[in-house]
Every structure is written in C-alpha cells, then in structure tokens.
C-alpha cells in the first residue's frame, strides 16, 4: 500500500495540499442527484441527464478495477483574492469574469488539471509499478463532488458548492481512480459548517439557489446562461441586477463567509490576477463595452477561436460572447 506521506510528497511537488481518499465506489448523494434530474433542474446541462446519468451510479461503471480514489483539490483562491483588488481599481471597466478562467495560468482548467493528474499518477507508479489509474474531472460520468465529500475535502454549501474550511470553495476537483488501495490522510469526515447562513442565496440576483435542496436551478444560473448557451437566448430574470458578470459567475462564492475569512486571513497578491489573466484583461476587462462588441462583430468565428484557443472562453464562442455582452450596452 502506498503511504500517505509518499502521496503528500508527490502532491507537494505539484503545489497541492488538500486531498483525501475514498474506497467506496457508489456515491452517497445519488438519490439527491436523481431527484435533481427528474425535477428537470439541469436545464441546458443535458449531458448530466442523458445515458451518462446511469454511469454515475457507480465508479465501477467507468473503471471496473477500481479499489480506491485519490481526490485532490486544485486551489485557485489566490486568484479570487487578487481579482477583487483589480475590480476595485480604476483599470476595471465593470465587467467580471469567473475566477477559474484565470485560476490555471489562463488555460482551460481541464488541460492544466489533467496534466497534473497524469504526472501524479506516473509518480505513484514509480512507488508501485503494478498500480494503474484513470483520471477523472467533471468531463467523466462521475459525481465528483460526492466523492470529494466522502473523502473529507469539505461539505456541501447551500449553493451546492463543496466548501473546505482551509481553502473555501475556490477549487476544482480532480481525481485518480486506482486499482490499488492507498493510505488516506488523517483528516476526519467534514461536517456542515454553513449553519443558518443564507448569504449565497440572498446575493444571487436570479434566485438560482434552492436553499432547501442545496441545489442550483441551472436555467436561472448566470454561469449557465453565460457559458452553456452559445446562441442568443433570453437572460434569466434578475440578470440585469448582476455585477457585470459576462462569463461565469462567482457572486455566491464571493459572499461566502468561508471565502471572506480567507480574504481577511491571507494577504492577497494584487498582481496574480493581472499576470495570469493579461489576455482577458486587455481584451475584455479594461475597454469600453461597445468597443469590445465592435471588435467581436468584426472578428470571424475562426479568428475568435484562434485568439482564445485553449482557454475557457473558447467554449462559448464569439456568438455566445456577443450574446452575453450586449446585455451590458445600456
């Protein structure tokens, strides 16, 4: 069995600190997920409700040889703290972009996290040549937050995000599904620390958070509207009360006391957001909105893809981005 200290040393080499291990292959929140699907709350996220929903019922449906899952938090909270300083500065034009866009050196996090998972897996194989692995992100048919919860990484916040007491909620979950058992860290199973707080739901301008079920009504969510809809469509009611979000949304995370606590506790690097997000800042976050729209209208779809290739903004495309920005012309 690979020991926890060896795992931690490997993760340290990748700048990662928060991780857990789970041996269970079935998600604990499956009934909750099925209810969310049956209620139609997935909206435009149809890929969560198709035949892949059945595969999510057991990790063995994806990797039959699984014995344990190494779940890792890829933290980008430093970017969230740095971004706030930028948005409060005179450089900002008032538009806001989701922090994860900048959180992984400006790359699409799928590429960045996948590369690190591959490197971690290969280092583990040096310790045990008989170990085999498959990596998992949100692109695989897996309820990744469930297994992160089971491994002790955090608890489900009322906005459905997983919250960790040490790094808040600004992290991406990545996992390695292993054919061998590995030693888990000492952390205990995390309990709910949201208490009576409802700041996330109170702050959401489109009322997308169902507090009772701790789920998101996808078609009301600003992130769904600005990322998943690639063509012109009516914005969710309340979008006009947003703070300038034009790709993704962090409102419910920004107001979370567990993220605020980190903001107060840790000194923010005011340059981190600028260094990693220069491409997005120069094009979207400092110029007048009408100028940005004019440039996008004059640009071909191919040119847009070329300019933002390998970044999260490639997904929505030029037409989808124009749809988002036109709401801020007035």
Catalytic residues: 138
Whole-angstrom CA distances from 295 to 50, 146, 241, 281 are 37, 42, 26, 15
- Locate 49 and state its tokens: 């409700």
Question: What is the DSSP code string of 32-55?
Answer: HHHHHHHTTTTTT-GGGTSTHHHH
Which residues are CB-contacts of 146 (< 8 A; sequence separation ≥ 6)? 27, 28, 29, 30, 33
For residue 168, the SS3 value is: strand
Q: What is the DSSP letter of 137?
A: -
Question: Given the structure tokens 């997904």, which residue do they identify?
Answer: 315
String of DSSP letters for 224-255: IIIII--S--PPPTTGGGSSSEEE---HHHHT
| Distance between CA atoms of residues 136 and 158, nearest Å | 25
Angstrom distance (rounded) from CA 18 to CA 189: 13
Query: d(Cα 186, Cα 191) in Å, to the nearest integer?
Result: 15
What sections of 128-195 are H helices per DSSP? Answer: 144-150
How many Cβ atoms are within 10 Å of 31's Cβ, its own excluded? 9
């Amino acid at each position: 069995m690979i020991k926890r200290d060896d795992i931690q040393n490997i993760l340290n080499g990748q700048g990662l600190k928060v991780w857990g291990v789970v041996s269970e292959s079935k998600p604990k929140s499956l009934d909750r997920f099925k209810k969310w699907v049956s209620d139609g709350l997935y909206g435009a996220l149809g890929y969560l409700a198709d035949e892949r929903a059945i595969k999510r019922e057991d990790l063995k449906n994806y990797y039959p040889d699984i014995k344990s899952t190494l779940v890792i938090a890829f933290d980008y909270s430093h970017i969230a703290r740095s971004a706030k300083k930028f948005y409060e500065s005179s450089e900002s034009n008032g538009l806001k972009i989701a922090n994860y866009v900048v959180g992984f050196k400006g790359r699409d996090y799928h590429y960045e996290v996948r590369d690190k998972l591959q490197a971690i897996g290969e280092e583990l194989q040096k310790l045990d040549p008989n170990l085999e692995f498959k990596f998992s992100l949100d692109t695989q048919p897996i309820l990744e937050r469930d297994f992160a919860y089971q491994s002790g990484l955090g608890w489900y916040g009322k906005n459905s995000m997983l919250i960790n007491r040490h790094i808040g909620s600004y992290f991406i979950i990545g996992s390695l599904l292993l054919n061998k058992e590995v030693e888990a860290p000492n952390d205990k199973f995390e309990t709910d620390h949201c208490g009576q707080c409802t700041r996330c739901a109170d702050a959401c301008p489109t009322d997308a958070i169902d507090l009772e079920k701790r789920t998101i009504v996808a078609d009301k969510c600003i992130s769904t509207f600005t990322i998943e809809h690639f063509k012109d469509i009516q914005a969710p009611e309340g979008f006009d009360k947003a703070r300038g979000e034009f790709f993704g949304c962090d409102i419910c995370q920004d107001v979370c006391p567990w993220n605020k606590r980190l903001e107060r506790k840790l000194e923010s690097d005011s340059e981190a957001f600028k260094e990693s997000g220069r491409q997005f800042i120069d094009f979207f976050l400092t110029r007048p909105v009408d100028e940005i729209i004019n440039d996008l209208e004059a640009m071909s779809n191919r040119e847009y893809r070329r300019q933002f290739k390998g970044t999260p903004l490639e997904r929505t495309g030029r037409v989808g981005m124009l749809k988002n920005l036109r709401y801020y012309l007035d």
